[in-house]
Amino acid sequence: MRTAVGQFTASPDWKENLASCQDLVAGARRADADLLVLPEGVLARFTEDRHRIREVAQSLDGPFVSALAEATEGGTTTVVVGIHEPSEDGRVFNTLVALRDGRLVARYRKLHLYDAFGDQESAHVRPADEAPVLLDVAGTRVGLMTCYDIRFPELARLLVDQGAEVLALPAAWVRGPAKERHWEVMIAARAMENTCWVAASGECGPRNTGNSMIVDPLGNVRARLTATPGLTWADAEPEATARARAVLPVLANRRFAVSPAILASGGPR
């Protein structure tokens, strides 16, 4: 499965961000990518004015998703990208959409909210209470995660237990002391402990790190971007996954199961 990750710097204008996404979709299609992973929350850039998350949110049949879905028409590339979607309690959901051939084929609402390092995502974003989401891309099972989710290894394991060979991770990873190191280590850790591929896309710019990458099941970086906008890809071969699981059978050797039950204490509701 040819897997691509793309990154850009979001602007305050969703139409400019749509154009950036459309350009990356066009590049991925020219590269015959089966999967393109784009960043989290791309409707607008948020710095100190976090309340604008509520103002710019769009429904899944709104103009952003509809136009980006149109950019996938007639092709086989599946595009995964994050937006903010209105919810019933006045906050928004941090939602991933998967689009292919003009249609919405999957949706994942973020489970773990970034109430850490002085930030409080839950002030404006509502956490989901629903099962992890997988989709089929070119015969490969792909699990969906968003940004802060990478710090919770049980979510990745649940997706792999359900058959995921690739984890798609849109993000807007905020800069900070050792944060860049955290990003790299945890992507590699989730790949190695589950012997799966991780395709992680991070928004770049003054607030966020970029550093999108594709990591194989033994933790090797197969493709990487740095701090500037761009697109890169690698072939996530099922043969490489099978070889890794044969020589490093951690999934077969483990002694504990992971429950899909959601804890009531998982942060503000």
Tokens of 74: 């007639």
Q: Is 179 a catalytic residue?
A: no
Residue 147 a catalytic site member: yes
Structure tokens at 69: 């879905």
Alpha helix locations (H) across 31-135?
A: 52-56, 63-71
Question: Does residue 110 have an active-site annotation?
Answer: yes
Helix residue ranges, H only, the chain: 14-30, 52-56, 63-71, 153-161, 179-194, 238-247, 250-253
Beta bridge partners of 95: 83, 109
Contact present, 145 and 167 (Cβ < 8 Å): yes
Of residues 21, 85, 121, 147, which has the active-site annotation? 147
Q: Which of 85, 110, 165, 196 is catalytic?
A: 110
What is the DSSP track for 165-184? SEEEEEE--B--TTHHHHHH
Give the residue numbers marked as catalytic: 40, 110, 147
